[in-house]
C-alpha cells in the first residue's frame, strides 16, 4: 500500500479533496515544543534558534502531519541584546549599556514586556508613520535565517510547513494601544483610528507572510486571539475584522499558499461570517468555550476545512484513555465528507504529557481512515 506524504494529506484536506485519513495537527507552540524535546523554555528565549529547532523536534516526536515555525529576531538582536536571569525574572539587557530593557513573560507566551513603551498612536497620521519592513528587509535582517534550513529539513521528512503570521486585527491594536481596553474602545470612540491600525497591521502581516513564502512554507497561520465572541460582537467582527482577513487571505492565495485562521474562545456567533474570509480552514473549536466539532461541522463543514476540537484541559490533565476517547469522538464527528483535521482547541498547554499527545494521534490513525478497508469507526476500539 502506498504511503501518503503528510504534505499531500494536508494539501488534500485543505483543498476539499478526500485524503487517505484525517490529519493530525495539534497547535504546538515553542513552550511545549521545548518540553517535548527535553529543553527549557527559558533557554529558547535566551537563544531563539533553539525554540525553532524544538518545533521540528516536537513534530517528529509526536508524528504530526504539520510543523509550525515563528519569525525570529533580527541578526542584530544577538549582537546588541543579552538575556539573563535577574531577581527571579528573565530580563533583556543592552550589551552596550548594560541597562535592563524589559522582562519576558515566561509563564505566558514568552513575549518581552519593555519598560519603556512607545506612546500609543493618537491620530491616523501617527499610524501612517509606523514603519512597514518589506519582505526583503525581513530576510536581509536575518529574521528567518534559522527557519529556512528547518523548512527544508521538514519538507525532506514529508511535513506540511506552516509559518506563524498572526496579528491582523485586535492583537495588533492591543499591542499598539498598550492594552485591550484602550484598543476595544476605539471601535466606538474612534473607528477611523481603529481602521487605520488594522490596515497597518494587514500591511505588516502581508510582508511577513511574503518573507515566509520566500523560504518555502506551504501555508500561513493567521488570526487574533482577542477576535472572539467572548470579546467582541458579531457586528464589530464583520465590520472591522472580516475585511482584514479577506485581504490577507487573497494576497497569500495569490502567492500559491494555503491560509489557516486561528479562532480563540467562543466562535459560534461568527460561524456564518467565517467562510466569507476566504481562509482554507479555521483552527480552534474549543469545547471549554461551548463549541463542538459536530455543531461546527453542521454549520460550515461543507464550506471550509475545520481543525481542532480536543480540549486542552483534557490534554493536560486527562489520562491517555480519556484523551483517546475525546479525540476519537472529534474524528467521528468531523470525518464525514472530509474537510476535518484533528487538533487541539487552542495552543497545547506547556506541560501536556507526551503520552496524551500520542493517544490523540492514535485516534486519528485508527478512526480517521477513508480507505475502503478501514476499520468500522463506530466500533469500540479504545485500547491504547
Whether 2 has a pLDDT exceeding 90, the answer reads: no
Residue 339 is assigned to a structural domain of this protein: yes
- Farthest-apart Cα atoms in the chain, separation: 67
Residue 48 contacts residue 146 (beta carbons within 8 Å): yes
d(CA 283, CA 220): 12
Residue 173 contacts residue 186 (beta carbons within 8 Å): yes
Residue 88 is assigned to a structural domain of this protein: no
Place of cell 479555521: 282
pLDDT in the model for residue 4 = 67
Place of cell 476500539: 381
Mean pLDDT in residue range 73-88: 94
**Cα 4 to Cα 1, 10, 280, 282, 328, distances in angstroms:** 9, 10, 21, 23, 21
Residue 81 is assigned to a structural domain of this protein: no
Residue 113 is assigned to a structural domain of this protein: no
pLDDT tens digits for range 28-62: 999 999 999 999 999 999 999 999 999 999 999 99
Residue 163 contacts residue 69 (beta carbons within 8 Å): yes
In total, the chain counts a number of residues equal to 384
Query: In CATH, what number is assigned to the domain containing residue 316?
Result: 3.20.20.210
For 20, residues 6+ apart whose C-beta sits below 8 A from its C-beta are 4, 9, 369, 370, 371
**Model confidence, pTM:** 0.94
Whether 356 has a pLDDT exceeding 90, the answer reads: yes
Whether 178 has a pLDDT exceeding 60, the answer reads: yes
d(CA 148, CA 24): 23
pLDDT tens digits for range 290-311: 999 999 999 999 999 999 999 9
Helices (H), the chain: 6-14, 30-36, 41-46, 48-62, 75-80, 124-128, 135-140, 147-156, 170-177, 180-189, 191-214, 234-236, 242-254, 293-300, 312-317, 320-334, 354-367
| Helices vs strands, H then E, count in the chain | 17, 11
d(CA 307, CA 326): 14
CA atoms within 13 A on the CB side of 351: 3
Mean pLDDT in residue range 221-238: 96
For 154, residues 6+ apart whose C-beta sits below 8 A from its C-beta are 56, 59, 67, 161
**Cα 244 to Cα 159, 225, 284, 384, distances in angstroms:** 29, 15, 19, 44
Q: For residue 250, what is the DSSP state?
A: H
Residue 100 is assigned to a structural domain of this protein: no
pLDDT tens digits for range 106-154: 998 899 999 988 999 999 999 999 999 999 999 999 999 999 999 999 9
How many domains are contained in the chain? 1
Place of cell 506541560: 351
pLDDT in the model for residue 372 = 59
Residue 342 is assigned to a structural domain of this protein: yes
CA atoms within 13 A on the CB side of 169: 28
Write b or e for each residue in 278-298: b if 16 or more Cβ atoms lie within 10 A of its Cβ, otherwise e: bbbbbbbbbbebebbbbebbe
356's grid cell = 496524551
Residue 373 is assigned to a structural domain of this protein: no
Strand order in the sheet with 281-284: 66-69, 160-164, 219-224, 258-263, 281-284, 305-310, 340-344
d(CA 343, CA 262): 12
Structural domain for 20, as ranges: 6-74+133-367
Q: What are residue 33's phi and psi, to 5 degrees?
A: -55, -40
Q: How far is CA 293 from the centre of its chain?
A: 18
Residue 178 is assigned to a structural domain of this protein: yes
Amino acid at each position: 500500500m502506498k504511503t501518503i506524504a503528510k504534505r499531500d494529506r494536508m494539501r488534500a484536506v485543505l483543498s476539499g479533496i478526500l485524503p487517505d485519513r484525517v490529519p493530525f495537527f495539534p497547535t504546538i507552540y515553542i513552550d511545549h515544543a521545548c518540553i517535548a524535546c527535553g529543553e527549557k523554555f527559558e533557554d529558547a528565549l535566551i537563544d531563539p534558534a533553539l525554540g525553532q529547532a524544538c518545533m521540528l523536534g516536537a513534530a517528529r516526536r509526536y508524528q504530526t502531519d504539520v510543523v509550525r515555525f515563528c519569525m525570529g529576531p533580527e541578526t542584530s538582536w544577538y549582537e546588541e541584546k543579552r538575556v539573563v536571569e535577574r531577581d527571579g525574572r528573565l530580563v533583556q539587557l543592552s550589551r552596550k549599556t548594560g541597562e535592563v530593557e524589559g522582562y519576558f513573560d515566561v509563564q505566558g507566551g514568552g513575549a518581552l514586556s519593555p519598560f519603556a513603551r512607545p506612546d500609543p498612536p493618537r491620530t491616523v497620521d501617527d499610524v501612517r508613520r509606523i514603519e512597514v519592513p518589506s519582505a526583503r528587509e525581513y530576510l536581509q535582517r536575518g529574521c528567518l535565517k534559522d527557519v529556512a534550513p528547518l523548512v527544508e529539513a521538514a519538507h525532506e521528512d514529508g511535513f506540511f510547513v506552516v509559518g506563524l503570521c498572526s496579528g491582523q486585527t485586535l492583537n495588533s491594536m492591543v499591542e499598539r494601544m498598550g492594552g485591550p481596553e484602550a484598543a476595544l474602545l476605539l471601535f466606538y470612540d474612534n473607528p477611523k483610528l481603529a481602521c487605520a491600525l488594522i490596515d497597518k497591521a494587514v500591511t505588516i502581516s502581508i510582508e511577513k507572510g511574503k518573507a515566509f513564502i520566500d523560504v518555502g512554507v506551504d501555508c500561513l497561520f493567521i488570526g487574533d486571539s482577542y477576535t472572539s465572541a467572548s470579546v467582541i460582537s458579531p457586528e464589530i467582527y464583520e465590520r472591522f475584522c472580516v475585511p482584514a482577513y479577506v485581504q490577507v487571505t487573497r494576497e497569500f492565495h495569490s502567492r500559491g499558499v494555503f491560509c489557516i485562521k486561528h479562532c480563540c474562545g467562543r466562535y459560534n456567533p461568527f460561524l456564518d461570517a467565517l467562510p466569507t474570509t476566504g481562509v482554507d480552514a479555521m483552527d480552534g473549536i474549543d469545547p471549554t468555550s461551548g463549541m463542538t466539532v459536530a455543531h461546527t461541522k453542521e454549520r460550515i463543514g461543507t464550506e471550509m476545512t475545520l481543525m481542532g476540537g480536543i480540549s486542552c484541559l483534557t490534554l493536560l490533565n486527562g489520562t491517555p484513555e480519556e484523551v483517546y476517547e475525546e479525540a476519537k469522538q472529534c474524528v467521528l464527528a468531523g470525518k464525514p465528507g472530509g474537510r476535518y483535521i484533528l487538533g487541539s482547541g487552542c495552543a497545547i498547554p506547556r506541560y501536556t504529557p507526551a503520552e496524551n499527545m500520542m493517544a490523540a494521534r492514535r485516534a486519528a490513525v485508527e478512526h480517521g481512515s477513508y480507505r475502503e478497508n478501514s476499520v468500522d469507526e463506530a466500533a469500540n476500539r479504545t485500547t491504547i
